[in-house]
Structure 1
Amino acid sequence: MIATLQINDVSKTFNNENEKVHVLDNINLSVKNGDFLSVIGPSGCGKSTLLKLIAGLDLDYEGNIVVGSQEVNGPSKERGFIFQEHRLFPWLTVEKNIAGNLSLKDSDTRKKVDDLISLVNLKGFEKAYPRQLSGGMSQRVAIARALLRNPEILLLDEPFGALDAFTRSHLQEALIDIWGKNKTTMVLVTHDIDEAIFLSSRVIVMDAKPGRIKANVTIDLPYPRRRTSKSFQEFRTVILNHLDHKAEDAEDWSI
């Protein structure tokens, strides 16, 4: 498969007033077309920073990042970004939030928006405003909005972190369904070990201070996955071991 994302020798340093903070160190990573990659690691390991570099939101780093055939030199419609907060426009309806600056009077846009509303299971809520939606529904709108322009890669920065456990589990299943139907390459940053295993074809485990790739774990479990299965628990143990956490000492992790 063609690599949708190629990260080559990427390092990142923040210059604070009194010191330099080395956040990322020599990151090398290749993500194939249609892959679902999760990045997990302790706080401060540079997970979200790496996602912002891929998105082109920060260009002050060493090395280079290529998406498709183009080196990243700024934000692009080829890279959709989902934040932890949905960031919908409160004065726009669901369908208009998804359409953004595109006109719903255009037949092609209208069809794409309608198809995406069906894809994220929001039929009947086209005319609803964000204040009328639950947190999980709002995140579905955000996902649909990011998919409208058919990005080569969808970047997700802990998109379910602020949701209750039931809604988070429901949206994880919805995201797998969207990924299975759309085959968009996805890169997810998460603190949740179970979420990473449940969703991903591959999990990157990072070390902190500075952030380095510690392990690259292929999750070769068939979909749909059961969190209670023996094989699922074995992958959880593998990742915890890479994180240098014993299972009984894992309070800092969502497991």
Structure 2
Amino acid sequence: MTGSLEGKAVIVTGASSGIGRAIAVELGKAGAELWLVGRNQSELDATAQMIGDAGGPDAHTAPMDLRERGPLAALVEKVAGQHPHLFALINNAGVMYPEPILSGSVDRWQAMLDINVMAMLEGCKSAVEAMRAHAKPGHLINVGSVQARFEVPGVYGISKQAVEAIGVSLREELEQDDIRVCTIIPGGFETQLARGFRQEELAHVASSFESRGVAFGGDGAHRLVSDPQHIANIVRYVLEQPIDINFQEILIRPPVSTKAS
């Protein structure tokens, strides 16, 4: 097939579901050759099948645990060695544990920092090295969260504040390169982030929905939790623009806002 991203390699983390899956399928439609990163091989296979069904090139799967240092950097190096143009790294993978600090778990904090921050840093550094070696235009797209803007962000929001700060720093360091850095800041979208929530945390989410006149999981829920396809469309748009423009940050959310404190 032919498309705007044909001949370009793209790595997407967190591609086994939700936002990452939607991004991967959309970029596959545009002709990108995808490397899909996630923890679940069968779900990565399902994403690859969706890309093929949508007319995209055969996608590659790379199951890994992003809490570990090394595998993502090794994948970036492998892709750059196999493909003549590493065009984009989409750092979408993330975990969210929303408990208050005083009732939180050090292990869960560490998981958020390892996946939401350290894996992203490792991937970005490796991708920049590969993109510079290829001497072709490239993109780093990092997925943050609107919770980073909340008055009380919690540890998860703090990890996403780091995503925004890293984006600012990278943009300055890459001003003389044809490598652009965009931070996507989603509000409420359908993802698997709630898979690690405790029962009381799910109850809090349901209460937050009800306070905005929306039934948790019922009619109208899409006004508070939207379709990840909207984010996929934004990512494709950014990648299709000329390299001489930089979309620094894009905040995208459903019409009904999530709680900001």
Bigger relative contact order, structure 1 or 2, given CA contacts below 8 A and separation 6+? 1
Structure with bigger strand share is 1
Q: TM-score, normalised by structure 2?
A: 0.36
Q: TM-score, normalised by structure 1?
A: 0.37
